[in-house]
Amino acid sequence: MKDISGLFGLQYPIVQGGMIWCSGWELAAAVSNAGGLGTIGSGSMYPDVLRDQIRKCKAATDRPFAVNLPLIYPQVADHIQIILEEKVPVVITSAGNPKLYAETFKSAGCKLIHVVSSSKFAIKAQEAGCDAVVAEGFEAGGHNGREETTTLCLIPQVVDAVTIPVIAAGGIADGRSMLAAFALGAQGVQMGSRFVACIESSAHEAFKQAVIAAKEGDTHLTLKEITPVRLLNNPFADQVRLAYHNGATNDELKALLGRGRAKKGMFEGDMIDGELEIGQVSARLDNIYSAKQIIDQTMVEFKTAFQKMSL
Ligand code: NDP
């Protein structure tokens, strides 16, 4: 099986998405110990918190792990310094231009993956020197591309556009969807929502329960004028819809969003006023498992689905 395992020293070509407020060291270490690439989501962490999380992760696993670094983070320079000092093996950048930092990471021996939502940005990431790209389709939770390109359309285009490995994301939560991504040419998958509803995730229990209760059509991509984000339906999402209906300006939308809504919803468990970021695939999740169970089940399903298709 051609995949990213060799490149990043993994047992399985499964990357855990770096979801703010949900992916601390416990989840990252559990995924890495189970053979995937665990990721600490640094977007919700102040620099001293990030350093502490990295150290705890290093103490809990001797396998490779990653830090997700949203490049729009206000103290990105501090985070980069910590990542280098702590010798983090893999960095996954998102929401910005990796070219500005690629040389810094690569000269420190740190592997670099960038998250893209189009072939155009995949090519730019390759030119910048990234080792791989995560190509994330419209189905994905959290921050998302404006073009609404679905995973089914995005992955083959990105695979044809670049020579570096492509890790598919958006709508992938099990072995069947992983196999579909491989059929499209991906060499690995990234799963986010599946690992939100995971025992080791730092998401609030109420959010985990809401994720496994979600049904088809319960998420929507919104706030494109500010930063596109896929949210689970709740009273806050209704308020956003109403604001659009009433012709809200960008400033009014920003004021409605305010500050710290994601923390309120996903970390503190406020299911009314909080922002609940999750992917469409939440409709397919109905249980909270450990990271090891998720990875083991995914690989069994992947092989079973492959055998069925080969008959
Ligand atoms: P807000 O501006 O609404 O709130 C900032 C939140 O981030 C607060 O809850 C704050 O915690 C925390 N925080 C951590 N470090 C800092 C810092 N240095 N300065 C200010 N706040 C900090 O932003 P969001 O919660 O919507 O997003 C936070 C970050 O996560 C952004 O960098 C964003 O790009 C990223 N993000 C990434 C997503 C993805 O899909 N990759 C999805 C959504 C967000 P406290 O309340 O304790 O002060």
Contact of 290 with 201, CB cutoff 8 Å: no
Least Cα distance to 197 among 301, 300, 297, 282 occurs for: 282
Whole-angstrom distance, CA of residue 96 vs CA of residue 116: 10
299-309 tens-digit pLDDT? 999 999 999 98
* Confidence class for position 311, pLDDT limits 50, 70, 90: low
**What is the distance in A from the centroid of ligand 1 to the CA of 138?**
22
7-202+288-310 is classed CATH 3.40.50.1980: no
Closest residue to atom 46 of ligand 1, CA basis? 260
Helix, strand, or coil here: 191? Answer: strand
Report domain extents, the chain.
7-202+288-310, 205-281
36-91 tens-digit pLDDT? 999 999 999 999 999 999 999 999 999 999 999 999 999 999 999 999 999 999 99
DSSP state of 44: G
- Counting from 1 in the atom list of ligand 1, the atom nearest the Cα of 46 is 15
Please state the pTM of the whole predicted model: 0.97
- The residue whose two tokens read 């989840």 is 27
**What is the distance in A from the centroid of ligand 1 to the CA of 44?**
5
Query: Strand runs (DSSP E) across the chain, as ranges?
Result: 14-16, 38-41, 65-70, 90-94, 111-116, 132-136, 142-143, 166-169, 188-191, 219-222, 229-232
Torsion of CA 103, 105, 106, 108, to 10 degrees: 120
- Counting from 1 in the atom list of ligand 1, the atom nearest the Cα of 142 is 40
Residue type, 145: G
Total residue count of the chain as it appears in this document: 311
Whole-angstrom distance, CA of residue 182 vs CA of residue 111: 22
